[in-house]
Amino acid sequence: MSTQTTDTGRTDSGTDFDAVVVGAGFSGLRMLIELRRLGLSAVAVEAGTDVGGTWYWNRYPGARTDSESWSYCFSSFPELLEEWTWKERYPKQQEVLDYQRFVADKFDLRKNIRFSTRVESASYDARSNTWSVRTDTGDTLRCTYFITGLGHLSVPHKPQFAGIDSFAGEVYVTGNWPKEPVDFAGKRVGVIGAGASAVQAIPVIAEEAAHLTVFQRTPNFVVPAQNHPLSEEQVAQIKADYPAIWQKAQSHVFGFPMSPAGRVYDDVTDEEREQVFEQGWRDGGFHYVFETFDDILIDQRSNDAASEFIRGKIRETVKDPVTAELLCPKGYPYVAKRPPAGHGYYETYNRDDVTLVDVLSDPIAEIVPGGVRTASGAEHQVDVLVFATGFDAVTGALEKIDIAGVDGRRLTDEWREGPQTYLGISNPGFPNLLFICGPQSAYANIPVVVEKVVWTLGQALERMGEQGLDRIEATPEAAAAWKAHLDEVLHMTLIPQGEKVGSWYLGANIPGKPRSPLFYFGGAGAYAQWLDGVVAKDFDGFVLSSSAEPAQVG
C-alpha cells in the first residue's frame, strides 16, 4: 500500500495514520491543520483532483458565494487574513477555490492529501479500536480516528425523468460541472430548477444562449445580492475590522458579521416597515432577512410582510404580469426554503429570448430526444439541458460510504428514520467516527461552523492524548436529548412549513428520504455555546475511554 502522503508513516498503535479525513474542502483542510497542531499523523482522501470541496465541483456559470467574502474564510490565522485579499463582495467560484488553494499551499497540506480518490467503505474493529477505510483505488487505510468533512451539498440529485437517456443533446448538472467551458452560443438551453444554483446560472446562461427555457416548480424568494468589487480602501477597512467581524459572526444566528435589527414587527407602523424592507433590499442578500426585523423566522405576520415586499418587487421588476405571478412564491414562508441571492435574476425574465415554464401546474412528464414534454403534452425543444435540481443534502454523502460501526451496525440502518447524532459530531455506536458539520450541526455560514467544530474536536483529541485515551463516542442519551432540543427549536420557527415545498433542510426534496431536520436552527452563537459547554464540562455527553479497557458509559 502506498503511504507517500503520510508525514510519519505507521503509528505506534499499528495503524497507518492516527486520522483519516474524508474531503479537502473547508472542513478537511481546517482539520488537517488542527491534526498537525496536535502532532497526529493524518491523510485526507479527496475525490477531486484539487482542494475546494463544493467550490471544486460547482463550477456552473454564475457560481459565487451568497456569504460576503470577508466572512467566508478562516478566522483563526492572522497571516491568512492579512495576506489574502478578496476582490468582490461575493466572490466567484474560482476566487473561493483559489482561496482554498492558497490555504493548502500556505500550510503545505497537499502532501497529506490523496487526490482523485474516493472512500467507498469504512468499518470499525472494536478489538483493535481501528477503522479500516477502503478507497476506490483499492487501498485500505487503517486509522484510529475516521473524520468526515464531506460538506452539506456534495451529492447532486438528478431526477430520473422518464426517457432521460433518449435526450439527443448535451446534459449538464450544476453540482458536477465540467472543468472545460461549456459553449451555449447559438443553442436552445433548458434549465430545470429554480433554487440557488439555477438563480445564479440563469442570468449568465441567458446572456449567451440563443434561447433559454426555465422549468420552474416552486418559485423562490430572491433578494438581490447587490454585489460589487472591493476597492483598496474597502479591503483595508475589512482587514482592520477583522476582530469585530469575527466577534459578530461567531455570535450571529447564521454566522454572519451582522448585528440583530433590534426591532420586531409590532415596533413600527406599516409605512416604517416598508422603509425598513426597502433599506434591507438595498443592502442586499441576507441583510434583508437579518437586519430588518428580528422575528421574520418566528412571527408569521413579520414573515408575511417580508414576503409580500419581495412579491411587490417581483411585480415591479418583471414586465409580463403572467410571468411575474409565476415567479411570486406563495403558500410558504420566506426562508422556509433556503432563499437564493440574485444577480439580475428577475430582470432576466424581461428578455425576449427567455421563457418561464411552470412545471408545478404542468409537471415534466418525460424527456424526449428533442427536449422536455410536460403532462399536458406541450413539448419544449432544447439542445442543452441543465439540471439545477439540488442535492441529497447532508446525510447523502455519508450514506454513500458504507460505514459499519460496533458489531457491524450500518450508519444507513441507524438513520432509517433520520440521523441520530450528538451535536452533528458523533453517532452512538460509531466510536471515533467524527463528523465536521455532520447532520444536526448548526445551519450557518460554513467556515464559522467548521472552525468551531474543528476546535472542539481538537480539544477532545488533545485531552485524550494527555490522559492516554483513544476512543470517543457520544452517548445515546446525549444524542436523544440533542434531537429533542433540535426539534423544539425548529418548531419555534416557521421552517417546518418548508416541508410542503420540498425543503432540503428537512430531507423533503428527495423522494423516499426520511423527513427529519438535518440541522440545528438555534444559530451559530448558541451552537458555539453548546460546544464550549461540552468542552468545559469534560466532554459531557461523550464517553472518552481507553481501548486498553472496556468502554464505560458515563
Using alpha carbons only, give the angle 441, 76, 291 rounded to the nearest 5 degrees.
60
Q: Which of 100, 292, 374, 509 binds ligand NAP (CB under 6 A)?
A: 509
Beta bridge partners of 212: 189, 354
**Residue 442 sits in the site that holds ligand NAP (CB under 6 A):** no
| Closest CB 518 distance from ligand NAP, rounded Å | 11
Q: Which amino acid is residue 13, in one-letter code?
A: S
Grid cell of 166 as nine digits: 433518449
Nearer to ligand NAP by Cβ, of 157 and 211: the residue is: 157
**Residue 329 sits in the site that holds ligand NAP (CB under 6 A):** no
In this chain, which stretch among 28-36, 60-68, 237-245, 311-319 interacts with ligand NAP, using CB under 6 A? 60-68
Q: Which of 502, 507, 517, 541 binds ligand NAP (CB under 6 A)?
A: 502
Count of other CB atoms within 10 angstroms of residue 12: 7
Nearer to ligand NAP by Cβ, of 106 and 338: the residue is: 338
Count of other CB atoms within 10 angstroms of residue 355: 16
Give the integer Cα–Cα distance in Å for 447 and 73: 6
From residue 415, give the alpha-carbon distance in Å to each of 149, 500, 511, 514, 517. Answer: 18, 22, 16, 8, 12
| Closest CB 135 distance from ligand NAP, rounded Å | 27
**Residue 141 sits in the site that holds ligand NAP (CB under 6 A):** no
Report which secondary-structure segment, H or E, holds 337: none
x/- map, 167-186, ligand NAP, by CB under 6 A: -------x------------
Give the integer Cα–Cα distance in Å for 343 and 204: 9
**Residue 388 sits in the site that holds ligand NAP (CB under 6 A):** yes
Q: Which of 143, 276, 359, 398 binds ligand NAP (CB under 6 A)?
A: 359
Give the integer Cα–Cα distance in Å for 135 and 427: 22
| Closest CB 283 distance from ligand NAP, rounded Å | 17
Q: Which of 193, 371, 447, 522 binds ligand NAP (CB under 6 A)?
A: 193
Binding residues for ligand NAP restricted to 203-242, rule: CB under 6 A: 215, 217-218
| Closest CB 492 distance from ligand NAP, rounded Å | 22
Grid cell of 538 as nine digits: 469534560
**Residue 192 sits in the site that holds ligand NAP (CB under 6 A):** yes
Q: Which of 196, 214, 365, 453 binds ligand NAP (CB under 6 A)?
A: 196
Grid cell of 380 as nine digits: 419544449
**DSSP secondary structure string, 107-133?**
TT-GGGEE-S--EEEEEEETTTTEEEE
Q: What is the dihedral of CA 241, 247, 253, 258, to 10 degrees?
A: -20
Nearer to ligand NAP by Cβ, of 203 and 431: the residue is: 203
Nearer to ligand NAP by Cβ, of 47 and 194: the residue is: 194
| Closest CB 501 distance from ligand NAP, rounded Å | 6
**Residue 338 sits in the site that holds ligand NAP (CB under 6 A):** yes
Give the integer Cα–Cα distance in Å for 149 and 437: 7
| Closest CB 96 distance from ligand NAP, rounded Å | 9
In this chain, which stretch among 188-196, 303-311, 373-381, 434-442 interacts with ligand NAP, using CB under 6 A? 188-196
In this chain, which stretch among 62-70, 425-433, 520-528, 529-537 interacts with ligand NAP, using CB under 6 A? 62-70
Decide: 40 and 6 in contact? Cβ < 8 Å.
no
Q: Which residue has the cell 470517543?
A: 472
In this chain, which stretch among 120-128, 138-146, 195-203, 468-476 interacts with ligand NAP, using CB under 6 A? 195-203
Grid cell of 161 as nine digits: 425523468
**C-alpha of 234 from chain center:** 28
Q: Could you tell me which of 98, 188, 133 has the C-alpha nearest to residue 22?
A: 133
Query: Which residue's Cβ has the minimum distance to ligand NAP?
Result: 195
The contact set with ligand NAP (CB under 6 A) reads 64-66, 153, 159, 174, 192-198, 200, 215, 217-218, 338, 359, 364, 388-391, 502, 504, 509
